[in-house]
Amino acid sequence: MLSIIIPTLNEESVIEKTLTSLKSKLSIPYEIIISDGRSSDRTAEIAGRYADKVIVYSGKKRQTIAEGRNDGAKAARGEFLVFMDADCTIKEPDSFFNKIMKHFGRDPKLVAVNVAIRVLPEFETLTDWVIFNLFNDYLWFVNDILHFGMSAGEFQMIRKDAFDRLGGYNGRLAASEDIELFSRLAKAGHVRYEKGLVIYHTGRRAHKIGWLRLLSLWFLNSVFMVVKGRAFVKEWEPIR
């Protein structure tokens, strides 16, 4: 069974499209879990029409995305955890997940899979195309050749027993929690990048703050993770 976990915070403009792209289009048993960071808009209401579970954060401080993902995982019943961002779309989800499941079936030591990332065609710019093609090649090289483990938050599929054994995401990290977890997963078992599968997203962060600033933040977060064990940013600014 798949447990598809989507962290949200004020995502009313995109969450319905994301959920309808998944709902009733999978032959594999699945559940959809929304882990909401206490949205002030209609996110939880809209999600409730489609999701099997909607968990709303009740803490006082702002929830990190890592904490949101961990909360969703605690409520999951599936053997496989699928983490997606709220603005993501899988065009043919049934064939997409069946192909990944075959990889897990063939390799019992495989603990996590990620896929190629693209911006939705209606939003994609030439710069988006160039940068994500380079980034996808980087994901392939680091995961499948170096076996170090590397991922982005748009999509991660992880065996639940491995996730639980490692303690999930580092909830203290404001950013780069996806990279940090995949690096630990690579030490616990096999990780894989599936270049033949694509998850699409809106590209909204790069389009809002500009690629130069976003690439700078990615670089600084990565360096700080290696040197100091934490991200450069203390809070990942929501882009809506």
CATH number of the domain enclosing 163: 3.90.550.10
Rg (CA), the chain: 17
CB 33 within 8 Å of CB 52:
yes
The answer to the question of residue 85 being in a domain is: yes
Residue 104 confidence (pLDDT): 97
Q: What is the model's pLDDT at position 151?
A: 92
The pLDDT, as a whole number, for residue 236 is 75
- Is 239 inside any structural domain? no
Strands 80-84 and 155-159 come out as antiparallel
The residue among 126, 130, 148 whose CA lies nearest residue 139 is 148
- Does 225 fall in a domain? no
Domain count within the chain: 1
Q: 213 lies in a domain?
A: no
Residues 92, 25: Cα–Cα separation, whole Å: 8
In what order do the strands lie in the sheet containing 2-8?
53-56, 30-36, 2-8, 80-84, 155-159, 110-119, 190-201, 88-89
Mean pLDDT by 10 residues, the chain (240 residues): 96 94 85 95 94 92 92 97 96 94 96 97 97 96 93 95 97 90 95 95 95 91 80 77
Number of other residues whose CB lies within 10 A of the CB of residue 53: 17
Tell which phi-psi region holds residue 41, choosing left (phi > 0), alpha (psi between -120 and 50) or beta.
Answer: beta
Q: Which pLDDT value is given to residue 49?
A: 93
Whether 238 is in a domain gets the answer: no
pLDDT reported for residue 235 = 76
Domain, as residue range, for 139? 2-205
Identify the sign of the CA torsion 140, 136, 223, 230: negative
- Which strand (E) or helix (H) includes residue 201? strand 190-201
